[in-house]
Homo-oligomer: A and B are copies of this chain.
């Protein structure tokens, strides 16, 4: 439900236009679904392709330990995005050990797995890590790439025409390859990456950055990529490399969205405990792209809302191990959480 609501601009007061549900996104997804069921064609456009790992993790935090829990960037993105858009079209690779019930859980949420290769004689990617007391740093204990070594994604014919593409953190060469397989360039391409690729595949990364619209990285990665300590300067340098939108994730300190000379900030929800931060960044990306794909609105204004949605989804993710909490939550839970974000940053102001 949308309420159109545009108060007259009064130049005697400074406007904080965070407000009741306005302006309406140009073509809300629900309407399109309602009016075009049958033709069905638009479902292709609205759908989101997600590329990335599907894995198992063993995680140790100050609050506890889990020996084997489903994980991987594409898994978190899919769990978050599927609250907003259907279908989510997964491109990944798993081994013989990837449990059917995990696949089924995704399918039940409207995730299409045609692009997920199952390797019969290898195990799934496995990662194990231990978080420090402050939860901001972690030690990687085990990285068994397993099937990930062979990841050469093929974009299924049924995925073509999708308007939204989220490239999770994998080798930039793979990310480029997926973009090149798209017969029609998606309306919005977003990508994640990490310091490792800046150090080992900078040539490919530079090529890739010219092909995408949105780059999502954390603050230390932004500093490394740009050679600038100031995030404002870093953002300017990075946008020169290609992406016209840059999201800098600062974990418990929120996230910044840059576009041209504009900047927007979404806080992280102050939580009693961060139980397990694994996957929070990917969940953020899933909420972000889910909202964009749902609304089909790629304006800066709508991206502001998208990073609030991403932050809200991430705030659920960290409440339990792995994607456990993401599997539980309802749309009502998400609405309530979004309301908390509104309360968190809502203020009135007058001129001095």
Residues on A lying within 8 angstroms of B by beta carbon are 1-3, 5, 7, 9-10, 12-23, 25, 83-84, 133-134, 229-233, 250, 253-254, 256, 262-267, 270-273, 301, 304-305, 308-309, 331, 334-335, 338-339, 341-352
The answer on a CB contact under 8 Å between A352 and B230 is: no
| Least CB separation from A83: chain B residue | B352
Task: Describe A's contact surface by its main secondary structure.
Answer: loop
The answer on a CB contact under 8 Å between B20 and A265 is: no
The answer on a CB contact under 8 Å between B272 and A335 is: no
Contacts of A5 in B (CB 8 A): 7
Q: Return the contact of A15 from the options B13, B20, B25 (Cβ within 8 A).
A: B20
Contacts of A346 in B (CB 8 A): 15-18, 264, 304
Contacts of A3 in B (CB 8 A): 10, 12-13
Identical copies in the complex = 2
Contacts of A265 in B (CB 8 A): 267, 270, 344-345
| A14-B339 in contact given A267-B267, A345-B265 (Cβ < 8 Å) | yes
The answer on a CB contact under 8 Å between B263 and A348 is: no
Contacts of A264 in B (CB 8 A): 343-347
Known: A264-B344, A345-B345. 14 other contacts (CB 8 A): A1-B13, A1-B351, A2-B13, A7-B7, A10-B21, A16-B18, A17-B342, A21-B348, A21-B350, A254-B254, A262-B343, A264-B343, A264-B345, A301-B348
The answer on a CB contact under 8 Å between B14 and A338 is: yes
Q: Return the contact of A13 from the options B12, B21, B270 (Cβ within 8 A).
A: B21
The answer on a CB contact under 8 Å between A17 and B19 is: yes
Q: Return the contact of A232 from the options B19, B134, B262, B270 (Cβ within 8 A).
A: B270
Q: Return the contact of A16 from the options B19, B83, B271, B352 (Cβ within 8 A).
A: B19
Shortest beta-carbon distance, A149 to chain B, in Å? 38
The answer on a CB contact under 8 Å between A230 and B273 is: yes
Alpha-carbon distance A343/B338, docked complex (angstroms): 19
Most buried by B among A2, A339, A344: A344
The answer on a CB contact under 8 Å between B1 and A12 is: yes
Q: Return the contact of A344 from the options B263, B272, B339, B352 (Cβ within 8 A).
A: B263
The answer on a CB contact under 8 Å between B349 and A342 is: yes
Alpha-carbon distance A350/B305, docked complex (angstroms): 9
| Least CB separation from A338: chain B residue | B14
Contacts of A17 in B (CB 8 A): 18-20, 342, 346, 348
Shortest beta-carbon distance, A167 to chain B, in Å? 25
Alpha-carbon distance A34/B253, docked complex (angstroms): 43
| Least CB separation from A1: chain B residue | B12
| A14-B347 in contact given A231-B270, A253-B250, A270-B263 (Cβ < 8 Å) | no
Alpha-carbon distance A232/B267, docked complex (angstroms): 14
Q: Return the contact of A18 from the options B84, B233, B263, B348 (Cβ within 8 A).
A: B348
Shortest beta-carbon distance, A341 to chain B, in Å? 8
Contacts of A349 in B (CB 8 A): 21, 305, 308-309, 338, 341-342
Q: Could you write out 15 A-B pairs with CB less than 8 Å apart? A: A1-B351, A13-B20, A15-B20, A16-B345, A21-B348, A230-B273, A232-B272, A233-B272, A253-B253, A263-B343, A264-B344, A264-B346, A304-B348, A305-B348, A342-B349
| A342-B14 in contact given A250-B253, A270-B263, A347-B264 (Cβ < 8 Å) | yes
Alpha-carbon distance A22/B13, docked complex (angstroms): 10
